[in-house]
Chains A and B, each alone.
Chain A
Amino acid sequence: MADGGTMFFSVNGLSKHFGGIHAVENLSFTLERGEILGLIGPNGSGKTTTINMVTGALRPTGGTIVVEGSDMAHSPAHLFARRGVARTFQVPRLFRRMTVLENLIVPALSDYAERRSTAEERARGVLQFLKLGHLANQYARALSGGQQKLLELGRALMLKPRLLLLDEPFAGVHPRLLEEIIDHIKSLNRDGHTIVLVDHNLEAIQSVVTRVMVMARGQKIADGNVAEVLQNPDVVRAYTGTRTSH
């Protein structure tokens, strides 16, 4: 249950087991409205599994995912999206043989109250914001890697998200576009969006977030201020490959 303050998203004792493999174990954290959290950790630490669970793409083995007071741990992905929990993927998963504009209209129309004309107007606004307006009628498959990441961000924005989960938005992006993506994320956060940012690019993450959570082997090993967390011996050990004390 939300605490009645600004906290609106909480994960409690979340676990995901694939047979004998414990991909995520007893993970708990909360997010306050308007917060921007960096989620980092070495490969295989359970970051993407966590993102998949808190967006309904994977059903947890145990634990709760509370969004504005409702436990959604066993809800399907489309209900998370309708509740404003939007995501991007590590490798962009666009509707490749649909136009850029159509890619944006799909999430808007998943809300039955939204009319096509309104959806199209909003989509053009998002394209302007992302500086992709000139590509509106191109097929999504024709875009460059960086443009595809931006379009996926735009698709998430069309859900009018309360929480944005960005899975590796900086990976494989041209340095010039990287700055552009960072600016967009900062601007979205200034506008009040709550954001969870998963990436390996610590430099880029530090330029955007104030709080960072570190995972290793499916567990949370640190959570707090960026500078302090990055000095944490457990975090250093996790990144240098030494076994942690857990």
Chain B
Amino acid sequence: MLHLSFTRWSQAVLLIVALLLPLGMGPYWIHVGAIAWYYALLAASWALLAGYAGQFSFAHVAFAALGGYASALCAGQLGFSLPVAIITAILLAAVIGALIGALVLRLSGPYLALFTLAISEIFRLMLVAEEDVTRGMLGLPVPGLFTGKSDIPYYYLGLALVVLALVAMNGLLATRVGLFLRAIREDEGAARASGVDTTRYKILVFVVTSVIAAIAGIYYGHFIGILTPNIAILPEMGLVIAMAVIGGIESLPGAVIGAVVVFLLSETLRSYGEWRFVLMGLALILVQRFAQNGLFPVLESLGRRRQERRAAIPSVGGPSNG
């Protein structure tokens, strides 16, 4: 029998559920699910940056905005074909991520957080102010990726992007870079004394996560069809952080699950108006108090213990015949 760890087993089940969900859902919930994948991409990549590498950036939603706007402007005003527009936007995010990374990642802790917050706000205000280019708060129209009115292709595209991002990020973490990032998170000075070029790896992880955030923004823009500077407002960044923290800041699948659960909950509680954000805040406080590493690691640990208990019980009736 195929023996999977609880983590792998639960991820496989969740992936199958995610694949089958559109079959039993109406258009509204498919739309909600497709937006949830946008947040899942942001939360998981932010978890890599903050949870694994210990770099608390508030510029993550600004990179989503950068990707979305760049792709929309390249496809609209510059007349690029959609694939070229998307690739240009991704490359732009990588270059700007490297430049900002080189600029800010010599800072640490609260200085890094404040610097990236300032950069994010500057970028958002530029989007508001440059009406001739971005149409400001009126919103920039973005061409769709698929013909037809169904959101199902976007739902599966979003899911595929999340899976690909998780595979890529887990691949990175499995190399020596993953070990270095955790060492940097634990003690940057000690990592340097151990021969690790900390600046290089901090810039690398900043670029990787900025590119994933930009891809999330590109996906979102082409799906929704219009972009406003509100995509990069501070409460959006707060929401992404809450999703990652509730799901598990040191667990990439945990952050994805956190994003989906928080977003679906927020939609379910829509009738409560602003009170739903109060409930979210309360949930965040409770998770921080009772499960500092987030809910997914707690479930993982419970599942693992259950699996170990089962393995410890001697089988009755001798070996199975098959």
Contacts and interface: CB of A to CB of B under 8 A. Distances in A.
B77 interface: no
Interface string B161-202: 000000000000000100110110011011111111110000
A111 B192 contact: no
Given A109-B176, A116-B176, A98 B193 contact: no
Interface in A66-89: 76-78, 81-82, 86-87, 89
B182 A98 contact: yes
Nearest to B184: A95
B176 A98 contact: no
Interface in B189-224: 189-198
Interface stretch (A3-11, A99-107, A214-222): A99-107
A147 interface: no
Contacts of B193: 55, 57, 77-78, 81, 86-87, 89, 93
A97 B186 contact: yes
Contacts of A106: 179-180, 183, 191, 194, 196
A109 B179 CA distance: 9
Contacts of B186: 94-98
Contacts of B176: 109, 116
Given A78-B197, A159-B195, A89 B190 contact: yes
B219 to A, nearest CB: 33
Nearest to A109: B176
B192 A107 contact: no
Interface residues of A, number: 28
B192 A77 contact: yes
Interface in B268-300: none
Contacts of A109: 176, 179-180
Contact of A159 (B187, B194, B197, B198): B194
A106 B197 CA distance: 12
A110 interface: yes
Binding site secondary structure of chain B: helix
Given A57-B189, A93-B187, A94-B190, A81 B182 contact: no
Nearest to A87: B193
Interface in A111-132: 111, 116
A55 to B, nearest CB: 6
A47 interface: no
A193 interface: no
A93 B192 contact: no
A149 interface: no
A155 interface: yes
B195 A98 contact: no
A25 B183 CA distance: 34
B293 to A, nearest CB: 10
Contacts of B192: 56-57, 76-78, 81
B189 A107 contact: no
A105 B175 CA distance: 12
Nearest to B250: A97
Contact of B194 (A56, A76, A96, A110): A110
A78 B193 CA distance: 6
B190 A110 contact: no
A95 B182 contact: yes
B171 to A, nearest CB: 15
B196 A95 contact: no
A140 to B, nearest CB: 9
Contacts of A111: 195
A81 B194 contact: yes
B181 to A, nearest CB: 11
A110 B189 contact: no
Interface in B92-114: none
Nearest to A105: B179
Given A95-B183, A98-B183, A116-B176, A155 B194 contact: yes
A106 B189 CA distance: 13
A56 B190 CA distance: 12
A158 B183 CA distance: 15
Contacts of A77: 189, 192-193
Contacts of A87: 193
Contacts of A55: 193
A93 to B, nearest CB: 4
Contacts of B191: 95, 106
Given A56-B192, A78-B195, A159-B194, 15 more contacts: A76-B197, A78-B192, A78-B193, A81-B194, A81-B195, A89-B193, A93-B193, A97-B186, A98-B179, A106-B179, A106-B180, A107-B195, A109-B179, A110-B197, A111-B195
Shortest Cβ-Cβ A-B pairs, 5 listed: A110-B195, A81-B195, A107-B194, A95-B186, A77-B192
Interface of B: 176, 179-180, 182-183, 186-187, 189-198
21 contacts: A57-B189, A57-B193, A78-B192, A78-B194, A78-B198, A89-B190, A89-B193, A93-B187, A93-B193, A95-B182, A95-B190, A96-B186, A98-B179, A102-B182, A105-B179, A106-B191, A106-B196, A107-B195, A109-B179, A109-B180, A116-B176
